Amino acid sequence: MTLIEAYGTGVPKILNSYKGFARQPEIVTTDNAFKIILPNKNEKSQDSDLNSDEKRIIGLLGRLGKITRKDVEAELDISQTMAGRILKSMVNKQLIETLGRGKNTTYVLRR
């Protein structure tokens, strides 16, 4: 009957449509179901309050999923110290969160 496009293609399409956005869809699962909470992409949100470096980092996270300080250094062509400051500021603004510690620290979009 071709009522659906293809099995399993909807969730990746939804997640791809939010690349570069600070707020990402939230997937909640139970034993027998799941639900996806979609942030309003049209709402005037913190995305408009981001500076150009923060927007580029959000975009990088959208492409890669998780990043390191060295990824930010390369993307923005800045020093290690400046990359650390920007990432710390973004963590404090609750735009991103850290995983790991020390040299194994990575950053992901906050859900």
pLDDT of residue 100: 93
Per-residue pLDDT tens for 6-52? 677 788 888 888 877 777 888 888 898 888 888 877 655 555 578 88
pTM: 0.59
Which pLDDT does position 34 carry in this prediction? 83
Give backbone dihedrals phi and psi of 7, rounded to 5 degrees, phi first: -70, 135
- To 5 degrees, how large is the angle CA 2–CA 6–CA 10? 125
Query: Among the ranges 41-45, 54-58, 82-86, which has the highest mean pLDDT value?
Result: 82-86
Q: Which CATH architecture has domain 7-111?
A: Orthogonal Bundle (1.10)
- Amino acid 68: pLDDT: 95
Domain locations in the chain as residue ranges: 7-111
Q: Does 73 score more than 60 pLDDT?
A: yes
Answer whether 26's CB lies under 8 Å from 14's CB. no
